[in-house]
Every structure is written in structure tokens, then in C-alpha cells.
Amino acid sequence: MTGTKLISGAEWWRTAVIYQIYPRSFADANGDGMGDLAGISSRLPQLKDLGIDAIWLSPFYTSPQRDAGYDVSDYCDVDPLFGTLDDFEVLQRTAHDLGIRVIVDIVPNHSSSDHGWFQAALAAGPGSEERARYTFRDGKGKVGELPPNNWESVFGGPAWTRTTDPDGTPGQWYLHLFDTSQPDFDWDSEWVREQFRAVLRFWLDRGVDGFRVDVAHGMIKAPGLPDYTPPAEGGSMGGAPATLEPGISAESPVTAPYWAQDGVHEIYRDWHKVLAEYPGDRVLAAEAWVDPLSKMAKWVRPDEMHQAFNFAYLETPWNAAKLKSVIDESIEAFGNVGAPSTWVLSNHDVVRHASRLALTGENLQGHGIGPKTVGLPNTAVGLRRARAASALMLSLPGSSYLYQGEELGLPEAVDLPDYAREDPTWFRTNGERYGRDGCRVPIPWEAASASFGFSTGAQSWLPQPIAWAGLARDQQNGVAGSTLELYKLALSLRREHSLASGTVEWLESLGSDVMAYRNGDVTIVANTGAASVQLPAGDVLLASEDLVGRTLPGDATAWLRAVTA
């Protein structure tokens, strides 16, 4: 690792802005319509210019791509679709030379069914050591024709698939909390634990700055694998439904026997020690859909992981009272264990916030949106709220995650043709749920180029909406008032005023739709209502919409230089 240009100071991740790159959709250097590592390397200077501290790369490992790379068949190699290990070395070196840290994804709950370990388990048969590495069980019923329990896959349909023995007769069943092609490991196996320590070391030895841990609340299952029916309104990954007030699900009756089991913590204590063997403050970030936040904070106790995605914040509607409450709850819950809060509004699994914040139908959190969704968002309202919400998020103390394209104000692509869809959710629910393709469409770089400059070829693996020409980076770069310039300004002021290491001091109410708070020498005012509000004293540093005099319009956020009495 070059080190010298990277943001200095111990525990850099406490204040970092981490930009998620979805390799399939960021930049394509070889013209096949699918993003790749060389494409990412070529665009890193633009991310430097944006002002981020680190990138997190979604999986680029060898994979049959049944779940867009979250189905890994070799944890220590690069899929030819994305390049080679040498391309990764170049990417990492380029990033480090620019002062950008590199976090990679690790997928420990399940592998691909193509993985040699799973293929060996199938071949070795019931009772073998190889089968004990995954979650195989005999079926119920007279001849094992029924699944071992009633669990459902997050992507829809049953969570069990029956195997076929070499002689063609039906055999045992295996568990997959996600797609059939993603068999769950059995983390009671010391062999599995040892393999993953080796995977961590493989990437740490190559100089990565940390790992985003996929399904970090799912690896341990309750003994006996008891039947469980999730509440109808619950999030399928275990989080609270979007309609709940933050914190209310503290009363949640039962924890699913496959989410948030106590045994996972031992695994992260072990991983913490592995990372601690390496210099340079390497980081573990949990994707753990655990509710309430006080429980999620267990994932980031001092000897476990370093960060956890704050999905409670992501799921909070654009509403001043609810946002204020989740901000307080987050700072308290994470602060109680000595961890920074994180903040996030979009990622590759949820409806982009430039659309989500303006949905008017019932499907507020949902399972993706598409042409038939009731209450599709108004694009202008969505963009306005997204800009205001991002300006609020980037003013908060702690670490923030950005998802590629949000700095351009990209909305969800809602008009994707059915034939183009790839998300297993779409297939496993027979089109009942649109799934996540709409937030994964390749991003636009240049309005006048084929595929808007995403690819050196003409195509992109998912079609890009025509209207995205107007949102392309080259249309926004250097243009005052553009979303891209708003993000750049926010990131530079955030650094200049040390907002990420500051505190939240709420100011006297400016109305029930308005949040006003002080962070160091900056006052932040966010107006989630429709009516304009008069700004308090102080020079305006940033505004997500044009101000009329000192009036902040609805759905807008402003930062002011605080006036001290």
C-alpha cells in the first residue's frame, strides 16, 4: 500500500465518505457492455475530483453471475467478465496513489453452487465431511419428499432445494436463504471458518483496506432449524418495515431463526483479530439488516466489526420528526459501543433515493418498482428531495456511504423491458416483484457518446433511459447548481469544517417540518415540508435549491456559517 496520500490518522473510517462501485455498471473498458476493473481504474480521477475517501467494490470474483456476483465460485480470483488479478492490482494502486482506499466485498453466508466446495459436497454424499460444510438435511415426509422446514428464500419461493443422487434418485435437501444457486454454508464447521480466514488474508496481503461483509447477520442458524413464518409486513432481510417509526420494532416478537443469531459475533471477533494482524486500520463493514439500532450496534462493539450500514436511516421517509428521531437513535446506539454512526440513502439493493423519496403509493420500501407500480414518483420532486436528503446526510457526524450515480441525481430506471431483467427476485416471484435491476442500470458519463460513455462499445447490459443524457456527468461537471457540483461542495465543506467528527446540537424548532441543528461552526437547516421557512442568521455555505433572499423553499437543505452569540 502506498499509504502516504491516503487520509491520515488512525481509524480513518470513522469519518470517511465511502463510494460504492457496482462493477457491472460503473465503466466498461473492453466494450462488451458489462463494466470491468479496467473501466473503474480509468474513471478513478473523477472520483478523486468528487472528493470521496474510499471505494467499496461489489463482488468481481469468479461467479456464474446468477445473483450478479453475490454467488461466488472462487473467492480468490477475478471473473474474466471483470478482468484479472493484475487488473485488480492496477485498480488498487491507482486508487491508493490518488489517496482513495479500497474496500472489497466478502460473501460468507453462501457460495455459488458452482463452487468446487459445493460440488465436492454433492459428490461426497450424506454424512460426509464435505457435506458438513454446507447446510444439508434429510427431507420430511414418508420418503423425504418434503423440505426440512418451512423457510422461504429472501428472493421468493422455498429456501430448500432437493439434490439428486448420482444414481438419479432424489437425495437430501440443501438450504439457500437466497437463490437455489447460493447454498448456505454451515458455520459450525471449523473447516469453513479456516477457509474464510484464508480468504481475508488473501486480500489483506494484496493491500485492501477492508471488507464489506454480505449478509453479516445470517451466517448462524438456530439449532434444530425450527419452522418460522416472518411477519407479513417485515423486511425480507430482517430489518424493520419502512412504515414503522424508528425504534418501534424494539417490541418485535421473535427473531427469525436465520437472522441475527448470537453465534455470529464470535465469527467477527475472530475476523477482527485477523485484520488486526495487518497495519493501517483495515475495516470490516456489516451489511446486517438488524432492528432496532441498539441491537445492530452489537455488530460494531470494539472487538467486532468497525461499521454497520445504517438501514434504519435509509428506510426513514422524508419527514423531519422521523429523521430527527432516527438520527438521535443512531448516534446514541452506535455511540454507546464507541462506534461512529454510518449514514446511507442508496445502494444496489434498494430503490434509488431520487425515486424512493417521492413514491406516493403503498410500495414505499418494497421489492423494486417498475412500470406497473402504483404511485410512481414524480421525477422533479424526487430529485429535489434527493438533493436535500443528501445534503442533510453529508452534514452528519460519522461515515457516509454513497452509491454510484447518486451524485448525478439518477432516479430508479422504471421502464426496463421484462426481457432485460436479470434479478433472481423477478424470476423467483414470476414477475410479482420487480427486484433490483432498476437501481443497477449503468451510469451515464457523456451525453453524446454511445451508452452515454459507460462502455467503449455501444451497448450496456441493462438499457439506459434516454432521459439520462441530461444527467450525464459531462452535463453537470462545472455547472453551478448541478447535483454533481452540490455533492462536490458538500464533500469539500464537510472536510473543511470537520463535520464528520462533530456533534449534533438541535436548535429551536423552525416548524414541525423543519430540522435545524448545529455541527461545530455550521448550522444545517432541512425543510421536509412544502412551505418556505426563514433561515436563521449566518452566511449561506450551501443550498440544495436556489434561495429567495433568506428563504429556504420546501424540500430543501441549507448549510450556514453559524453565528456565535
The residues annotated with a catalytic role in the active site are 214, 277
Whether omega for the bond prior to residue 292 falls within 30 degrees of 0, making it cis, is yes
Report how far residue 487's alpha carbon sits from residue 391's, in angstroms, rounded to the nearest whole number: 8
Report how far residue 66's alpha carbon sits from residue 463's, in angstroms, rounded to the nearest whole number: 19
What is the smallest separation between the CB atom of 338 and ligand NOJ, expressed in angstroms? 26
C-alpha cell at 409: 441525481
What is the smallest separation between the CB atom of 215 and ligand NOJ, expressed in angstroms? 5
What is the smallest separation between the CB atom of 156 and ligand NOJ, expressed in angstroms? 12
Q: Which C-beta is closer to ligand NOJ: that of 87 or that of 287?
A: 287
What is the smallest separation between the CB atom of 179 and ligand NOJ, expressed in angstroms? 8
Give every CB contact of residue 155 below 8 A, 6+ residues apart in sequence: 178, 179, 424, 425, 428, 429, 435
Report how far residue 203's alpha carbon sits from residue 46's, in angstroms, rounded to the nearest whole number: 25
Beta strands in 204-275 (DSSP E): 210-213
Task: Give the CA distances from residue 417 to residues 244, 421, 547, in Å, rounded to whole numbers and listed in that order.
Answer: 33, 7, 40
What is the smallest separation between the CB atom of 315 and ligand NOJ, expressed in angstroms? 15
What is the smallest separation between the CB atom of 551 and ligand NOJ, expressed in angstroms? 41
Q: Which C-beta is closer to ligand NOJ: that of 70 or that of 75?
A: 70
Q: Which C-beta is closer to ligand NOJ: that of 53 or that of 287?
A: 287
Q: Which C-beta is closer to ligand NOJ: that of 209 or that of 423?
A: 423
Q: Which C-beta is closer to ligand NOJ: that of 348 or that of 428?
A: 348
Phi/psi-derived region of residue 549, left when phi > 0, alpha when psi is between -120 and 50, beta in every other case: left
Beta pairing partners, 29: none
Beta pairing partners, 343: 400
What is the smallest separation between the CB atom of 178 and ligand NOJ, expressed in angstroms? 5
The conformation of residue 464, written as its DSSP 8-state character, comes to P
Q: Which C-beta is closer to ligand NOJ: that of 107 or that of 391?
A: 107
What is the smallest separation between the CB atom of 88 and ligand NOJ, expressed in angstroms? 20
Task: Give the CA distances from residue 459 to residues 35, 456, 472, in Å, rounded to whole numbers and listed in that order.
Answer: 11, 9, 16
Q: Which C-beta is closer to ligand NOJ: that of 412 or that of 513?
A: 412
- Amino acid code (one letter) for 426: W
What is the smallest separation between the CB atom of 228 and ligand NOJ, expressed in angstroms? 19
The contact set with ligand NOJ (CB under 6 A) reads 67, 70, 107, 178, 214-215, 287, 348-349
Crossing angle (nearest 10°) for helices 190-205 and 264-276: 30
Q: Which C-beta is closer to ligand NOJ: that of 210 or that of 247?
A: 210
Report how far residue 538's alpha carbon sits from residue 536's, in angstroms, rounded to the nearest whole number: 7
What is the smallest separation between the CB atom of 348 and ligand NOJ, expressed in angstroms? 6
Report how far residue 228's alpha carbon sits from residue 173's, in angstroms, rounded to the nearest whole number: 18
Q: Which C-beta is closer to ligand NOJ: that of 278 or that of 427?
A: 427
Q: Which C-beta is closer to ligand NOJ: that of 109 or that of 528?
A: 109
Q: b/e per residue, 25-56, with b = 16+ CB within 10 A?
A: bbbbbbeebbbbbbbbbbbbeebeebbbbbbb
Long-range contacts made by residues 308-312, C-beta under 8 angstroms, separation at least 24?
Answer: 308/216, 308/334, 308/339, 308/342, 309/285, 309/342, 309/344, 309/347, 309/401, 310/341, 310/342, 310/343, 310/344, 311/239, 311/344, 312/239, 312/240, 312/246
Closest residue to ligand NOJ, judged by C-beta, is 70
- β pairing state of 307-308 and 283-286: parallel
Q: Are 349 and 311 in contact (CB under 8 A)?
A: no
Report how far residue 314's alpha carbon sits from residue 319's, in angstroms, rounded to the nearest whole number: 12
- Amino acid code (one letter) for 150: N
Count of other CB atoms within 10 angstroms of residue 235: 20
Whose CA is closest to 451, among 476, 474, 475, 468?
468
